């Protein structure tokens, strides 16, 4: 039996219900909804009669309400909740039907689920959806994986609800199986790095620039009108301007300074380590959140009452310098994120179009930024560049901002303001740009204690020095 809804949503918490409402608001969609607790479904249907939802109390009725090929988007808590719903749908779906996991699933789980489900003939599509509650309702950035065949049905439905940037819907078929969730994971990693860098910029303007939160909000608003234009800069200004009703103080001063996380940043770092890709910007952001939450250690060191450096007066042009340091560090974070995408695509056999990823991040998602237009152009002009930092526009931006970037790192270090993001980004840039790295010495040390061998700059071959013998050199291959 086949029903009338071309799409269904399972899981009607905020993200799921907003996505269902978004789907229902687009021409041509008839949306079936199901939630484990029926009262939530009833509530949603009552609150939004305009959506014309097809509501079901049982999973059987929900499946029956879907037109073939049946397509259902699961919007429940990642992990066990997702597996339970998948099982319920698998028992009822038929070959050709499509199960979409729209949660923040670990891409390795998505690969495993797809491999398990594929033999049934049912499509399993792990899909990254970014934009938070507001994005889900008005237009998120969508990163679907899964088979090309499933995308034929799913693509137009997702395009109907995605954000639109420069006239194009922010959705693309990222690659097969777990590619969508992998790219969403990297999106979140970049989100972490960007947020940390913005946090450091705020801290510098506050403590070295000696500006109050409301003044810093004005600075961010000004930055938002230039090359740094982005959603995260925009909301930072909003947060900084907000005054706590209870105390009359800036909200930022009454929030406990311990940052939480749900795991996608950690996954980005773990997977990048496995792929051998340095993503220092994300790693420092993850560590910075971890440090912030180590209250006992912070109290312990603060309790030592070591003399803190006197904070120097802000040098001339400090605010502009911080803007340039932020921009350059942000370019590094994106370069590292795209390196991880390239390495992941190679390892897992995905044909990922970097320019297309940059384009679907231009709207709807948390890291949406004007900057992504330039990034998309850079990958379109040269998809095979070794690093984004060599793209002419970004190379020029870094060349122009380099002195400011160094001044900011020096000033922050002298003032004792922690800038793990800015300094790691600068060191990464320096590591890529110097002629010789001390890695040569590390190779010498490795050869000394473990005969791990080295290569020479003046010709082919692999060598070992007889360190505990006469220190002559032997060629090992
Ligand atoms: C998005 C966000 C979203 C979520 C983050 C928050 O793209 O819409 O990234 O997925 O807000 O996962 O992550 P943390 O709680 O770990 O900061």
- With a CB cutoff of 8 Å and minimum separation 6, the contacts of 173 are 144, 145, 146, 148, 151, 155
141 C-beta closer than 6 A to ligand 1: no
> pTM for this structure?
0.96
Taking the C-alpha atoms of residue 315 and residue 313, their distance in angstroms, rounded to an integer, is: 6
- Check whether 2 has a pLDDT greater than 80: no
Can you spell out the DSSP letters for 337-370? HHHHHHHHHHHHT----HHHHHHHTSSSSTT-BT
Q: What's the confidence (pLDDT) of residue 310?
A: 86
The HSE-up count of residue 438 (CA atoms within 13 Å, CB side) is 3
165 C-beta closer than 6 A to ligand 1: no
Query: Peptide bond preceding 69: is omega within 30 degrees of 0, i.e. cis?
Result: yes
Point out which residues pair with 143 in neighbouring strands.
Answer: 128
Could you tell me the pLDDT band of residue 307, with boundaries at 50, 70 and 90?
A: confident
Q: What's the confidence (pLDDT) of residue 1?
A: 57
* pLDDT tens digit sequence for 192-224: 999 999 999 999 999 999 999 999 999 999 999
Taking the C-alpha atoms of residue 275 and residue 339, their distance in angstroms, rounded to an integer, is: 10
**What is the average per-residue pLDDT within 46-56?**
97
**What is the average per-residue pLDDT within 419-439?**
98
Q: What's the confidence (pLDDT) of residue 206?
A: 97
Q: What's the confidence (pLDDT) of residue 77?
A: 87
Q: What's the confidence (pLDDT) of residue 309?
A: 84
294 C-beta closer than 6 A to ligand 1: no
> What are all long-range contacts of 265-269, with beta carbons under 8 Å and residues at least 24 apart?
265/188, 265/189, 265/191, 265/192, 265/289, 267/106, 267/185, 267/189, 268/185, 268/186, 268/188, 268/189, 268/192, 268/337, 268/340, 269/189
- Check whether 414 has a pLDDT greater than 80: yes
| Alpha carbon of 191 to ligand 1 centroid (Å) | 8
- With a CB cutoff of 8 Å and minimum separation 6, the contacts of 405 are 321, 324, 325, 328, 329, 398, 422, 426
264 C-beta closer than 6 A to ligand 1: yes
456 C-beta closer than 6 A to ligand 1: no
Q: Which two tokens stand for residue 79?
A: 């992990």
**What is the average per-residue pLDDT within 229-241?**
98
191 C-beta closer than 6 A to ligand 1: yes
- CA 226 to chain centroid: 22
Q: What's the confidence (pLDDT) of residue 78?
A: 83
- Check whether 227 has a pLDDT greater than 60: yes
Q: Are the C-beta atoms of residues 447 and 454 closer than 8 Å to each other?
A: yes
| Alpha carbon of 262 to ligand 1 centroid (Å) | 7
Q: What's the confidence (pLDDT) of residue 80?
A: 87
- Check whether 396 has a pLDDT greater than 70: yes
Q: Give me the catalytic one of 191, 196, 200, 284.
A: 191
Mutational test site, ligand 1, from 261, 262, 267, 289, max ligand atoms within 8 Å of CB: 262
Q: Burial letters for 395-417: b for 16+ Cβ neighbours within 10 Å, e otherwise?
A: eebbeebbebbebbbebbeebeb
Mutational test site, ligand 1, from 366, 368, 369, max ligand atoms within 8 Å of CB: 366
Q: What's the confidence (pLDDT) of residue 466?
A: 98
Residue spans of alpha helices (H) in 80-147: 80-92, 107-117, 132-138
Q: What's the confidence (pLDDT) of residue 381?
A: 94
Ligand 1 atom showing the smallest separation from residue 365 Cα: 7
* pLDDT tens digit sequence for 354-395: 999 999 999 999 999 988 999 999 999 999 999 999 999 999
261 C-beta closer than 6 A to ligand 1: yes
**What is the average per-residue pLDDT within 269-298?**
98
Ligand 1, atom 4: closest residue by C-alpha? 132
Spatial CA neighbour of 342 closest among 333, 352, 334: 352
* pLDDT tens digit sequence for 9-26: 999 999 999 999 999 999
Taking the C-alpha atoms of residue 288 and residue 269, their distance in angstroms, rounded to an integer, is: 13
Residue spans of alpha helices (H) in 208-263: 213-223, 231-241
Taking the C-alpha atoms of residue 364 and residue 138, their distance in angstroms, rounded to an integer, is: 8
| Alpha carbon of 140 to ligand 1 centroid (Å) | 13
Q: Answer yes or no: 249 catalytic.
A: no
**What is the average per-residue pLDDT within 427-444?**
98
Instruction: Tell me whether residue 69 is exposed, middle or buried, using C-beta atoms within 10 angstroms of its C-beta: 0 to 12, 13 to 18, 19 or more.
Output: buried
What percentage of residues in the chain have a pLDDT greater than 90? Answer: 95
| Alpha carbon of 323 to ligand 1 centroid (Å) | 25
**What is the average per-residue pLDDT within 225-229?**
97
282 C-beta closer than 6 A to ligand 1: no
Q: Give me the catalytic one of 30, 184, 330, 359.
A: 184
Q: What's the confidence (pLDDT) of residue 304?
A: 85
114 C-beta closer than 6 A to ligand 1: no
Ligand 1, atom 7: closest residue by C-alpha? 130
Q: Are the C-beta atoms of residues 172 and 157 closer than 8 Å to each other?
A: no
* pLDDT tens digit sequence for 55-100: 999 999 999 999 999 999 999 988 888 999 999 999 999 999 999 9
Mutational test site, ligand 1, from 13, 16, 101, 104, max ligand atoms within 8 Å of CB: 104
Q: Are the C-beta atoms of residues 462 and 476 closer than 8 Å to each other?
A: yes
Can you spell out the DSSP letters for 267-298? HHHHHHHHHT---HHHHHHHHHHHHHT-HHHH
**What is the average per-residue pLDDT within 150-171?**
96
Q: What's the confidence (pLDDT) of residue 186?
A: 98
């Amino acid at each position: 039996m086949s029903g009338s809804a071309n799409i269904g949503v399972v899981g009607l918490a905020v993200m799921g219900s907003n996505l269902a409402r978004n789907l229902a608001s687009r021409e041509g969609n008839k949306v079936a909804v199901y939630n484990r607790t029926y009262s939530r479904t009833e509530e949603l249907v009552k609150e939004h009669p305009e959506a014309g939802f097809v509501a079901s109390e049982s999973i059987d009725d929900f499946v029956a309400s879907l037109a073939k090929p049946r397509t259902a988007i699961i919007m429940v808590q990642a992990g066990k909740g997702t597996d339970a719903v998948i099982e319920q749908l698998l028992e009822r779906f038929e070959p050709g039907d499509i199960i979409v996991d729209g949660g923040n699933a670990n891409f390795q789980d998505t690969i495993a689920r797809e491999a398990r489900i594929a033999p049934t003939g049912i499509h399993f599509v792990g899909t990254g959806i970014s934009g938070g509650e507001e994005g889900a309702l008005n237009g998120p950035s969508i990163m679907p994986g899964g088979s090309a065949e499933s995308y034929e049905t799913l693509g137009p439905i997702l395009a109907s609800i995605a954000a639109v940037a420069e006239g194009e819907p922010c959705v693309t078929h990222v690659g097969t199986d777990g590619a969508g969730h992998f790219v969403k994971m990297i999106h979140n990693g970049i989100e972490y790095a960007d947020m940390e860098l913005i946090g450091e910029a705020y801290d510098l303007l506050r403590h070295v620039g000696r500006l109050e939160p409301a003044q810093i909000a004005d600075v961010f608003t000004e930055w938002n009108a230039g090359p740094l234009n982005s959603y995260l800069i925009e909301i930072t200004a909003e947060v900084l301007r907000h005054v706590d009703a209870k105390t009359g103080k800036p909200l930022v001063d009454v929030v406990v300074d311990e940052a939480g996380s749900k795991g996608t940043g950690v996954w980005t770092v773990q997977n990048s380590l496995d792929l051998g890709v340095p993503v220092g910007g994300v790693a420092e952001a993850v560590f910075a959140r971890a440090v912030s939450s180590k209250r006992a250690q912070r109290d312990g060191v603060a309790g030592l009452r070591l003399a803190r450096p006197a904070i120097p007066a802000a040098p001339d042009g400090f605010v502009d310098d911080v803007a340039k340091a932020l921009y350059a560090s942000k370019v590094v974070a994106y370069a590292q994120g795209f390196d991880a995408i390239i390495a992941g695509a190679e390892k897992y056999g995905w044909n990922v179009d970097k320019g297309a990823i940059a384009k679907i991040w231009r709207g709807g998602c948390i890291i949406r930024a004007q900057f992504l237009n330039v990034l998309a152009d850079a990958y379109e002009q040269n998809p095979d560049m070794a690093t984004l930092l060599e793209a002419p526009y970004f190379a020029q931006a870094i060349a122009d901002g380099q002195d400011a970037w160094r001044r900011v790192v020096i000033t922050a270090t002298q003032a004792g303001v922690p800038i793990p993001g800015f300094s790691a980004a600068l060191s990464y840039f320096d590591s890529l740009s110097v002629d010789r790295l001390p890695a040569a010495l590390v190779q010498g040390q490795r050869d000394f204690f473990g005969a791990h061998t080295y290569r020479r700059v003046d010709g082919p071959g692999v060598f070992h020095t007889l360190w505990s013998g006469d220190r002559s050199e032997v060629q090992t291959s």
